[in-house]
Structure 1
């Protein structure tokens, strides 16, 4: 129960757990955030397949899952407009991909958004809700564009089920994180906001783990020329 009794900013078991997790992320570079697909690369052909694929896609893509969790945490400090805006932006982004609109730098933007989300968690500066909601929608646009890769060419029934699936799972995770965090901060344990610093730094670390390899891949060809 060490974790629950510490309110004075001392290094606790929880802090050490976050530090270890961040160190592991820094050592083990994640796989590229390409098109994640739970159907072994097969296109969903039924409503059930489309729905299950939509549920799984944001979860098996670690960069996507990390930002959904970050959006839930930021909902506590910045308001629910941020996670809701992110989910709505995801729908729009998938629509752009399905409409064959070219959106460059998607994976780079997703990694950069993780770094920014972590920094916002650590700083805890309050911004106007509409600015953050708009920013979250733009970030959601990038994530949704990446989701669209897995469903291009599908029939309308599995396509609609896919959209429903990834919308519901993102809302469930983000709102679940928001609710649990609010309970810990405002409930009988009364954690201070500084307890959000460690997960904020972990999210920054995850973002950098995705961002650095992409930046190196962009810079090396230019340097070799």
Structure 2
């Protein structure tokens, strides 16, 4: 029995006819593609609610472990996950990397390793933490086409520089395994976030990209200011 003006899948719930699996599948695929895209704004909002740029707590200190090669590897793997500013930076890079080749990611990781080596040789430069927080603003400006993409390469080196603070004073064995774990962890995060963003690329409208860029700019500026005055 049909009613005037009623259509399949529209109108009041009690008037709707069952939808076929073929018509529901595209909706489910769209919803699943939006999930990765929604994660970054949520993380950005959580970051803005923090009082300042959270320092990446040393996993070794949290677990009360002594520096050994295996513990250094574990610490390096965990370290990018413990600093919200660095984690957001890595996730945001996946938006920039949508149109880039794989060699771009390799260049970033190599530059980050070079930054860590510089941090071991010349540690504790003033303002480094504030500069790391400000790199989020740089990513936002790149997404808005206000800055060229190459500025993110030295920005990644700066992150590597700050992440080397965790192993100052360690012997060569634990330090080397820490750097290996750090590089593997960053590579995994970049690959996973890039895969997720490519799945959600169809739903990444210019408006949404501008909103994400604005969140990154605001988050980076707030954290950098908090680090300078804190």
Q: Which TM-score bucket, shorter chain as reference? A: 0.7 to 0.9
What's the offset of the Cα at 1:166?
A: 0.6
Matched residue, 2:30: 4
- Asked if 2 retains the 8 angstrom alpha-carbon contact of 1:72 and 1:173, the reply is no
Structure-2 residue corresponding to 1:166: 182
- Rounded Cα–Cα distance in structure 1 between residues aligned with 2:181 and 2:41: 33
CA distance in 1, matches of 2:36, 2:153: 31
Choose the corresponding residue for 1:38, options 59, 69, 79: 59
Give the deviation of 1:66 after TM superposition. 0.8
- Structure 1 stretch displaced more, 90-99 or 73-82: 73-82
Gaps of 5+ in 2: 1-26
Q: Which of 196, 200, 205 is the matching residue for 1:180? A: 196
Q: Please tell me whether the aligned partners of residues 35 and 149 of structure 1 are also in contact (alpha carbons under 8 angstroms).
A: no
Alignment TM-score, normalising by the size of structure 1: 0.73
Q: Does the C-alpha gap of structure 1 residues 51 and 25 become closer, same or farther in structure 2, counting only changes over 3 Å? A: closer
**Change beyond 3 A, Cα 1:15–1:144:** closer
Report whether the alignment pairs 1:191 with 2:203: yes
The alpha carbon displacement at 1:59 in A equals: 1.1
Q: Deviations over 1:144-164 (max 9, x none)?
A: 111111111212221111011
Partner of 2:216: 203
Q: Which residue in 2 is equivalent to 1:76?
A: 98
| Partner Cα distance (2:181, 2:95) in 1 | 22
For residues 79 and 108 of structure 1, do their structure 2 counterparts lie closer, same or farther at Cα, with a shift above 3 Å needed? farther
Deviations 1:150-184 (A, max 9, x none): 11121222111101101011111112211221232
Q: Which secondary structure does the structure 2 equivalent of 1:40 belong to?
A: helix
* Greater Cα radius of gyration, structure 1 or 2: 2
SS across alignment from 2:203: coil
Partner of 2:225: 212
Deviations 1:22-74, CA, capped at 9 Å, x for gaps: 55543x23444435201126575222101110011111011111111111221
Change (3 A) 1:83 1:202: farther
Distance of aligned partners of 1:25 and 1:167 in 2 relative to their CA distance in 1, 3 Å threshold: closer
Structure 2 length as normaliser, TM-score? 0.72
Q: Which runs of 5+ in 1 are unaligned?
A: 6-11, 218-225
User: In 1, distance between residues paired with 2:111 and 2:37?
Assistant: 33
Q: Deviations over 1:173-220 (max 9, x none)?
A: 1122112212322xxxx3344243343333223212312213445xxx
CA distance in 2, matches of 1:66, 1:20: 11
Cα distance in 2 for partners of 1:105, 1:126 equals 22
RMSD, matched Cα: 3.2
